[in-house]
Structure 1
């Protein structure tokens, strides 16, 4: 099993968003994000790729609004956005 994964974040008008699900395939993450971006109160659903347990490996893959993939440089809705490089990661010790 590879440690390379794709996560889908969801943003909401009143929140900066959170990782909702992690996939082992980009195809699965893109399909989920595309569908999820059509839900009420979800202005966008980005896909981010990273290597588990390795800081600095995170990078944007795609993001969707109303079921349509958006250009990487398009203006993002909401406050902090998971794929724009400005969101802060939280640390969890297990």
Structure 2
């Protein structure tokens, strides 16, 4: 089990990024959260087995149609046993 915090920058607000991220997280089988930041980025926390987390990271690097991801910053967190995927804020 691993947990990562992913900061996604670019045109990622106002394009359904968080809701699409939730759908993708449910599809690949990871838990976590997604929230918009005041600086225009989206902050995503993803927890699960390594392969599904990697698949989610690949998706976040592209995002949904209409998004333009310019950068992705990943940091490791300690897994806390998250369940489900929530859109925060």
Q: TM (normalized to structure 1)?
A: 0.31
Larger relative CO (CA 8 A, sep 6+): 1 or 2? 2
Q: Which of the two has greater helix per residue?
A: 2
**Greater Cα radius of gyration, structure 1 or 2:** 1
Q: Which of the two has greater strand per residue?
A: 2
